[in-house]
Structure 1
Amino acid sequence: GEFEAGISKNGQTREHALLAFTLGVKQLIVGVNKMDSTEPPYSEPRFEEIKKEVSSYIKKIGYNPAAVAFVPISGWHGDNMLEPSTKMPWFKGWLVERKEGKAEGKCLIEALDAILPPARPTDKPLRLPLQDVYKIGGIGTVPVGRVETGVLKPGTIVVFAPANITTEVKSVEMHHEALQEAVPGDNVGFNVKNVS
């Protein structure tokens, strides 16, 4: 079936799980979809089989399966999406155990709500890896990237590494709107003085 294709050696399920881990995604939710299409429909053994196989694979990558919510769902029919489904009385809910504490629930929305937001350290020095640099006529040089730590605001003196160029930030924009300050998580463009 589709699950077997996805979890096979070059399958998309494996690829996405590995990509997520490699890109630094720390928290994972596994929604086992199309439960309405199992044989028989809403089959507990089929869910358990998939959960076991996915757990084994994500553990090899580096995730802790105990910290991952596994939720049997049917996106088409809405089962276990926003409220518990009557079609899977065998599903007693998901439980996540992590050092920050436990979380539990019955449906996908609760698993999403249980995701812990990442720390956004504004107290640390400014770090903003650049994704690109634009040269805009009449404006000048506009580096763009996401603030990882610290705060960026007009008037800030910044140093570009590895070139070791120091300059002042003239303005900061996000989605074409001027910002008084950008904090971790913000994707911004900023105008700098005398840098080409």
Structure 2
Amino acid sequence: AVNKMDTTKWSEDRFNEIVKETSTFIKKVGYNPKAVAFVPISGWHGDNMLEESSNMPWYKGWTKEIKSGVVKGKTLLDAIDAIEPPVRPSDKPLRLPLQDVYKIGGIGTVPVGRVETGT
């Protein structure tokens, strides 16, 4: 979401500039910018959050590519609903990747990690 569009007087040029800069950064860190929905919003006024805003008639909606195809929408809620949840390998054995090991006097060695599934 590109927030505070009300402070730029709903400027399409400013929105496009932010999308361009953010897309460049997203690409540099190894993600596909086409898989990201960019939505101009105003959290203060509620524009394009739950319902389409009349303050940005130039905004035609977002399109993003996901594994199952192309998804389109107009609001931030649509973009959130279009997020694909990660696949949880619940049929795989339990894993506990260790993050740290503490040696506590009188208690002993205490391994610390997070519980995950998978092989």
- TM-score normalised according to structure 1 size: 0.52
- Structure 1 unaligned regions, length at least 5: 1-30, 135-140, 151-196
| CA distance, structure 1, for counterparts of residue 39 and residue 83 of structure 2 | 14
Out of 1, 23, 35, the residue aligned to residue 5 of structure 2 is 35
Residue 63 of structure 2 corresponds to residue 95 of structure 1: yes
How many residues get paired? 114
Secondary structure in 2 aligned to 1:32? coil
Partner of 1:11: none
What is the correspondence of 1:18-167 to structure 2 with a 5 Å cutoff? 31-38=1-8, 41-131=9-99, 145-149=113-117
Which amino acid is the alignment partner of residue 72 of structure 2?
A: E
Task: Find the structure with the greater CA-based Rg.
Answer: 1
CA distance, structure 2, for counterparts of residue 59 and residue 48 of structure 1:
16
CA distance in 2, matches of 1:102, 1:88: 23
Q: Secondary structure at the match of 1:76?
A: coil
Deviations 1:51-79 (A, max 9, x none): 11111121111110110000001111111
AA partner of residue 36 (structure 1): D
Per the alignment, in what secondary structure is the counterpart of residue 18 of structure 2?
A: helix
* Rounded Cα–Cα distance in structure 2 between residues aligned with 1:80 and 1:89: 11
Change in 2 beyond 3 A, CA 1:144/1:109: farther
| Counterpart-to-counterpart distance in 2, 1:32 and 1:49 | 11
Instruction: State the distance in 1 between where 2:48 and 2:114 align.
Output: 35
Q: Over aligned residue pairs, what C-alpha RMSD do you find? A: 2.1
SS of the residue 1:102 aligns to: strand
* Counterpart code for 2:4: K
Q: Which runs of 5+ in 2 are unaligned?
A: 103-108
More strand by share: 1
Residue 32 of structure 1 aligns to which amino acid in structure 2? V
Pick closer, same or farther for the CA change 1:69–1:145 going to 2, 3 Å.
same
* TM superposition score normalised by structure 2: 0.83
State whether residues 67 and 97 of structure 1, in contact with CA within 8 Å, keep that contact through their aligned partners in structure 2: yes
Distance across 2 between alignment mates of 1:106 and 1:61: 26
Overall identity of the aligned pairs, in %: 73
